[in-house]
Structure 1
Amino acid sequence: MVRLIIFTDLDGTLLNQEDYDYQPAIAILNQLKKQQIPVIPVTSKTRSEVEGLRQEIDLSDPFIVENGSGIFIPQSSNNWWKVAQADQINQYHLHSLGCSYTKAREGLKKISADLEYNLQGFGDLSEQTIQSLTGLPPEEAKLAKQREFTEPFISPKQIDAKIVEDTAAKYGFRVLLGDRFSHLIDAQAGKGKAVRWLMSNHQLLAEEEVITVGLGNSPNDLEMLEAVDIPIVIASVQGVHPGLVSKGWQVAPAPGSQGWAEAVAAIYEQYL
């Protein structure tokens, strides 16, 4: 008996990059739900952002937020997942790999002081500024500021990326570099680490073979894609991200949500 477990990035993957639409994926998502196949978001988004999406598209499985810093397991799904090491928060079991948001903010200030450059994080920006920089609707920009573990900051174009990364490492942090925003996360956190922790706490039935699938669109998803059995790259309308081209992984047949749906449907047909 095969059990599929699907780990997925959101922006540019399950959700279109341009308009955040997910309608092309609804049919296969419903089919996966009927077959009790977990669909687990692995994202840089906050818990507040993911909760809204989960409610919209009726996901009930665990989810991983803020670049692998927090793993939230709904109490209703704990028959599949060992939760002895997890804390309780609202209706979830939480396993945290990252530091607190307060510590991340303090870290950004220390790094700024070392670099002699004012790194501007989400905590320094208004909702309106975040909205204009990201294209998020006003309500989602508000949710994006409700951080618990990590601090996104405007990527400094004037400073060599390696200098920023090395400075962050001095204080126990990693930097996930992006074109517009970079993310300051705890050195112990990461999408791949979170996926591996969750799978190490998955409760197998004796006759089961588990196959993990990962879908992502950027180098930020690299560690997640390396942690699964079947990595699938979702291209943008411009093509596969240069940072993922050399991996030789399967590429979805279309960009965004449409490509996600077609790739997942093909895996579903192959194994089930």
Structure 2
Amino acid sequence: MANSASYLVFTDLDGTLLNHDDYRYDAALPMLAWLKEHQIPVIAVTSKTRVEVEDLLQSLSFEEPFVVENGSGVFIPLTDQRFDPAKMDIPHQLWEQHQCLYLGCTYDQARQGLKALAQKLDQPLRGFGDMSIEELVALTGLRSEEVLKAQAREFTEPFVNLGLAATDLEQHVAEIGFQVLVGDRFCHLIGLGAGKGKAVKLLVQCYQGFQAPIKTVGLGNSPNDLAMLEAVDIPIVIPGAEGPHPGLAHQGWQIAPATGAQGWAMAMSQVRDQYWS
């Protein structure tokens, strides 16, 4: 590779690496294989749960850190010697085969926050913890076994927005001591310390201790990804069926030429040709 910098690729999953409707990623497999062959880490930064991401990474034979539930938890494989959580001023604990860095709140705290928000708004807000498997299958298009993994939340609570404007919702959520991210299907109630951008900056800082200089690529499709895209050197927007999300369309960033996994692969091919060939 002609460029001497070390690269990190941070990617959202739903609607980005994974297709919006069927969640497939077949079109991205050749590029993922190329990145793995060239030892360029691909780090998932997603609203998905740990269980969901672990299954995906296992199927890809990836052993990189990953970020779950909108930047609330950073999971680092115990076999990765580059990270020493004891030297970071961040709550952490062993979690099966990973060290988990806590940036947000616990799931119980998020559930209590949703109850407080519902009382404040005088609306019956319903989160993942209030919905049946059948309801979530209908809302998400996931299979029942996939819904169970999506419900295995450890930090945040997605809920259905009943039509409140994003700015009003953000104000009310701030008043009860949380953040809210408005996604394509759900709003996500998260802790004040969490965030995709914060998680990306933390991981870049960790990698810089071992690989310098570092250049970063980020791929996302919705305003949920804004902070992540702002934190990287090469931000790329994956469009939806009707084009890039209005919240990302006018940032002056690269727009992938197609949706989902196909757009992801094509955009990364452009990056490879420009920076790595």
Q: TM-score range by the shorter chain?
A: over 0.9
> What percent of counterpart residues are identical?
52
Distance, in Å, in 2 between the alignment partners of 1:73 and 1:174 is 24
Aligned length: 269
Residue 268 of structure 1: how far off its partner (Å): 2.2
Counterpart Cα distance in 2 of 1:224 and 1:97: 15
Q: What letter is aligned with 2:55? A: G
**Hey, what does 1:255 align to over in structure 2?**
259
Residues 155 and 178, structure 1, Cα contact 8 Å, conserved in 2: no
CA distance 1:160–1:34, shift in 2 (3 Å): closer
1:224 aligns with 2:233: no
CA contact (8 A) 1:2 1:271 kept: no
Map Cα deviations across residues 17-72 of structure 1 (whole Å, 9 max, x no partner): 11111011111111111111100000000001111111112211000000000000
Q: Distance in 1 between matches of 2:210 and 2:134?
A: 49
Give, in angstroms, the shift of residue 179 of structure 1: 4.6
Question: Alpha-carbon deviations, 1:192-240, whole Å to 9, x = none?
Answer: 011111112224447x321100000111100000000000011112111
Structure 2 residue ranges without an equivalent (≥5) = none
Which residue matches 1:99? 105
Q: Give a deviation string over 1:94-122, Cα, whole Å, max 9, x none.
A: 11101000000001101111111111000
- TM-score, with normalisation over the residues of structure 1? 0.95
The answer for the alignment partner of 1:61 in structure 2 is 64
Match of 2:74 among 68, 71, 75: 71
Q: Which residue of 2 aligns with 1:116?
A: 122
Q: Hey, which bits of structure 1, 4+ residues long, moved more than 6 A?
A: none
Contact 2:14 2:23 (C-alpha < 8 Å) held by counterparts: yes
Output the CA distance in 2 between the equivalents of 1:105 and 1:226. 29
Question: Hey, what's the Cα distance between the residues in 2 that align with 1:57 and 1:105?
Answer: 32
The gaps in structure 1 that reach 5 residues or longer are none
Equivalent residue for 1:245?
Answer: 249
Q: CA deviation at 1:76?
A: 1.8
**Which has the higher mean CA deviation after the structures are superposed, 161-170 or 113-122?**
161-170
In structure 1, what is the equivalent of residue 240 of structure 2?
A: 236
Matched, 1:24 2:27: yes
Q: Which residue of 2 aligns with 1:87?
A: 93
> CA contact under 8 A between 1:24 and 1:261: conserved in structure 2?
yes
Take 1:71 and 1:261, find their aligned partners in 2: how far apart are those partners?
Answer: 25
Report 1:142-153 matches (<5 A).
142-153=148-159
The aligned residue for residue 216 of structure 2 is 212
CA distance in 2, matches of 1:125, 1:75: 34
Matched, 1:178 2:183: yes
**1:138 has 2:144 as partner:** yes
Which of 38, 41, 65 does residue 41 from structure 2 map onto? 38
Checking the alignment, whether the CA contact within 8 Å between 1:82 and 1:202 is kept in structure 2 is: no
Residue 189 of structure 1: aligned partner: 194
**Aligned pair partner of 1:169 in 170, 174, 184:** 174
Give the secondary structure class of the aligned counterpart of 2:250.
helix
Provide, for residues 161-211 of structure 1, a one-character-per-residue CA deviation record: whole Å limited to 9, x for no partner. Answer: 3332222112210111235310000111111011111112224447x3211
* AA partner of residue 92 (structure 1): H
CA drift of 1:245 comes to 1.1
In structure 2, give the amino acid aligned to 1:183.
H
Alpha-carbon contact 2:182-2:223 (below 8 Å) kept: no
Structure-2-length-normalised TM-score: 0.93
Which residue identity does 1:100 align to in structure 2?
T
